[in-house]
Amino acid sequence: MDITAVNALPYEDFVNIFGNVVEKCPIITAAVWSRRPFVSLNALEAAISEFIDDLPESGKEGILRCHPDLAGRDLHSGTLTRESREEQARAGMDALSSGEASRMSRLNEEYKTRFGFPFVICARMNDKANILRQLTERCGNERAVERERGIEEVKKICRLRLQGLVLCDAPNKL
């Protein structure tokens, strides 16, 4: 799909295709449709980033709270979105040892209790050991730092999901 095809999509198709580039936040995709035409995939990604940046702090926390825990109950109950399931599996989150699983669970709870939103990291850019290390370290940060850090990770996830959707059938088109 090239950017001309993306720009020609009616909003319903646009939201159906790109609605989960930010996890469970189709409103963001639906909002940036107002800013088409996009000159490139990067321009679409930039429009999403700007929309996120303009949200109040509570809105950014809202985005984070729409994310599942890594190796959490949604993974175990099969209720992850397709995108999250693939990303978590690629990072080995569905194949933790019992020791790793209990450590992850304990740290996730500690993080959520401290910050009121979940630990968000771009799983596709990290392996299991790295995720556990960063979760441990980030539990010690300040809330405002973690809110911004989580949003940075949301944007990385968004970029990879966008690229996967647009470039998969035409790697050199955009």
Nearest residue (CB) to a copy of itself, 128 versus 161: 161
Nearest residue (CB) to a copy of itself, 31 versus 125: 31
Query: Interface with a copy of itself by CB under 8 A: which residues?
Result: 10-12, 15, 24-35, 51, 54-59, 61-66, 112, 116-117
Phi-psi region of 142 (alpha: psi -120 to 50; beta: other; left: phi over 0): beta
Minimum separation from the CB atom of position 76 to a copy of itself (A): 14
Q: Which residue type occupies 21?
A: V
Minimum separation from the CB atom of position 97 to a copy of itself (A): 25
Q: Map tokens 């790109």 to a residue.
A: 18
Q: Which of 60, 67, 147, 161 is catalytic?
A: 67
Q: How many CB atoms lie within 10 A of CB 174?
A: 18
Measure the CA–CA gap between 164 and 141, rounded to whole angstroms. 32
Q: Is 76 marked active-site?
A: no
- Could you give the residue numbers annotated as active site? 67
